[in-house]
Chain A
Amino acid sequence: QQQVKQSPQSLIVQKGGIPIINCAYENTAFDYFPWYQQFPGKGPALLIAIRPDVSEKKEGRFTISFNKSAKQFSLHIMDSQPGDSATYFCAARRSNSGYALNFGKGTSLLVTP
């Protein structure tokens, strides 16, 4: 059972555009929501993370928006660059079960020049 649902599966934007990736969850026990970036042949790397007591978090060109009542969160990439082309995974973690990460299926982002 997929505990974190992610969309879209793939996304193509032009340089300078603002890709948005959405995730939804059901388990209200989740208390930590990270986003990971993965390049081909590499392991995922933490990009940015948010906790449910905050509605928005910005780090550089990356912003997470969090809607606790809707159980949804999204990643926005401002001024996207070709170097941002990668697969992005949202994840959620609960603190009552070893803090294991539950990942979405991923979004393949292509930023064209």
Chain B
Amino acid sequence: EAGVAQSPRYKIIEKRQSVAFWCNPISGHATLYWYQQILGQGPKLLIQFQNNGVVDDSQLPKDRFSAERLKGVDSTLKIQPAKLEDSAVYLCASSLAPTYEQYFGPGTRLTVT
């Protein structure tokens, strides 16, 4: 079984630029999560999708972050414009349903200079 795929693995941008991350969850997984992991901290949930609907986006900075999962499969997370404090690893995870185990992808390491 293929795991959660993410791209790119690394990205370096200047502040005020925009960036997008892509996630392909495990086949058949209805629930998809985006987490932000700042160096030295645990992952923090940004947004949770159930199929193509948003379940929880209470910690997503909506003035600059957006995410979509149009067909209930792949998802993209966008930051526009980026700030220095957005430097982090962005993790995508998926699960069969909200109560099931979450499987994490390898993450995208973003550096904002």
Contact = CB atoms under 8 A, between A and B. Distances in A.
Contacts of A100: 33, 45, 48, 56
Nearest to A41: B106
Interface size classification for chain A: 20 to 34
A98 interface: yes
A91 interface: yes
A43 B56 contact: no
Contacts of A46: 101-103
Contact of A98 (B40, B48, B106): B48
Contacts of B43: 44, 89, 101, 103
Interface stretch (B64-72, B73-81, B91-99): B91-99
B55 A104 contact: no
Interface in A77-111: 89, 91, 95, 97-106
Interface of B: 4, 33, 40-45, 48, 55-56, 91, 93, 98-99, 101-107
Interface of A: 4, 6, 41-46, 89, 91, 95, 97-106
21 contacts: A4-B42, A42-B107, A43-B4, A43-B93, A43-B106, A44-B43, A45-B104, A46-B101, A46-B103, A91-B42, A98-B55, A99-B99, A101-B43, A101-B45, A101-B102, A102-B45, A103-B42, A103-B43, A104-B42, A105-B41, A106-B42
